[in-house]
Amino acid sequence: MNHKSVLIRIFLLCAYPLFSSATEENAVLKGEDSGQNDLSTDSHSVGGIIKYNMRKSLDLEQEGCYLKTGKNDCLEKCGFNATAKTIFIIHGWTMSGMFESWMHKLVSALMQRESEANVVIVDWISRAQQLYPDAVNHTYGVGLDIAELLNWLQDEHQLPLENVHLIGYSLGAHVAGYAGTHVRGTIGRITGLDPAGPMFEGVEKENRLSPDDADFVDVLHTYTREALGVSIGIQQPIGDIDIYPNGGDVQPGCGLGDVLAVAGNFMEVMKCEHERAVHLFVDSLMNKEHLSYAFQCTGPDRFKKGICLSCRKNRCNKIGYNATKMRKRRNSKMYLKTRADTPFAGYHYQMKMHVFNKKQSDDADPIFNVKLYGEHKDTADMFVDVHDNAISLNMTNTFLVFTEEEIGEVLKIRLSWEGESDSWSSMWKNIKKNFWGWNANPSKPVLEVRRIRVKAGESQKKYAFCAEDSSKTEISPGEYITFVKCPDGWDAKPKKRVPM
């Protein structure tokens, strides 16, 4: 067994009480055939019954009505409408043996948003409530069973597949992929909510959710942080669009301190981030007036620098239920920042400013804050995050500013340079500077910023801001400059640099 296999085993044993025998464990870790292709499509096989619970009530405590392949009387009893939208919700691996709380919220949100739709829960809990590798091996058979039901609905009731939407969480996302692969025709849409990573990362597209499984496949990745060689949510892009809220890494409100204060359980931290994909999707159903937008970017680092806020040529999209089909483009990775709670939508701004080194500033390493004054409200001072890099002198700096509330059109900006005692980060930088070398010249460093360019991601509007007092463009620690809209607008070229 190689080193990576050992790490994967340790991770899985810590994250899930998985393996029942050494034989099963070794088969998984050696990459041996899992036997998926030999699984029966019989929903009453040894793996357990698969049930299709069509909802008529928001209360999941009520039994509901069950669809069965080949049983027309069930369709009539349930009031199934073949011409309406048909939405299947597919859960993932579970330890409890019952629907988790997110299922109630998602069913309720869907039924309120799409009151005429057929909302069906795919109940494969008897197969999902097993050791994780066993549950993985059952995903193929469950997907085939869904495909068999859809094929029968097409044959007997002319169900249009373009009206079918499969929503799968964790392992359920890959179940949806198998259903899409084996149904006759093409399903309209599959949404993957943080599809499971272990045993699916890096495998061939036939063995996981992929863009070929539906006419439109959108994926939300919320827990791609790697531990011991694997991550709970799949890291690689596997849809037509793959959206990584907050980089798909640490989700706001899911920090160790945040969760332990409420739940007191370390496992809840992982659940919070993995399940965040579901809550973002529910939010998209319920908060139509607070739409979240994601922006295409090659990676999270560039996005955090504020480089990727364009909507040209389908480079942005709404997330969750409101995501729209785009021209087929394989593996379009998109990013956004969110709030910690519903409504999750916020507002993204790209800011550009050229910072001139005027005096004693070669080693200045400034910490800037910005405050935005809007037509509706103002923000607090916000740290200018240049993403793990220092402010570059005599160069144009681009950075991302995110506000949790809509402030309306930006009217004014205040740029401040933290003094040496204004924050712990400033104090630490000053201590390091004094520790590593005595400064023979105690005079204050001086920088100059003449113009700040702003692009609003959600509205795509562009503005240029010039110093309110044209004679006050220089700044030192503990000082600030106020900028107002330039009369010449965004497109005007900045003034030529003044020789120093």
Residue closest to 55 by CA, chosen among 101, 129, 116, 102: 116
* Residues of the binding site for Ca(2+): 208, 213
Spatial neighbors of 362 by CB under 8 A, at least 6 apart, are: 393
Cβ count within 10 A of residue 198: 23
From 170, 284, 332, 416, the catalytic residue:
170
Strand boundaries in 185-276, DSSP class E: 189-193, 216-220, 241-245
Residue closest to 157 by CA, chosen among 119, 215, 200, 118: 118
Spatial neighbors of 193 by CB under 8 A, at least 6 apart, are: 167, 168, 169, 170, 172, 173, 220, 277, 278, 281
Q: Residues 121, 53: contact at Cβ < 8 Å?
A: yes
Q: Is 169 helix (H, G, I), strand (E, B) or coil?
A: strand
Q: Which pair of tokens denotes residue 346? A: 């916020």
Residue closest to 87 by CA, chosen among 2, 179, 189: 189
Q: Which pair of tokens denotes residue 284? A: 């998209």
Integer Cα distance of 7 and 198 in angstroms = 12
Q: Which pair of tokens denotes residue 460? A: 């795509």
Q: What amino acid occupies position 328?
A: K
Integer Cα distance of 152 and 304 in angstroms = 48
Active site residue 274: yes
Tell me which residue has tokens 């991770």: 11
Active site residue 157: no
Active site residue 170: yes
From 174, 182, 221, 274, the catalytic residue:
274
- Radius of gyration from C-alpha coordinates of the chain: 27
Integer Cα distance of 36 and 433 in angstroms = 61
Alpha helices in 287-383 (DSSP H): 300-304
From 123, 134, 194, 218, the catalytic residue:
194
CA distances from 126 to 25, 65, 129, 131, 245 (A): 21, 18, 6, 11, 32
3-state secondary structure 368-401: EEEEEEECCCECCCEECCCCCCCCCCCEEEEEEE
Our separate counts of H helices and E strands in the chain read: 11, 20
Q: Which residues are catalytic?
A: 170, 194, 274
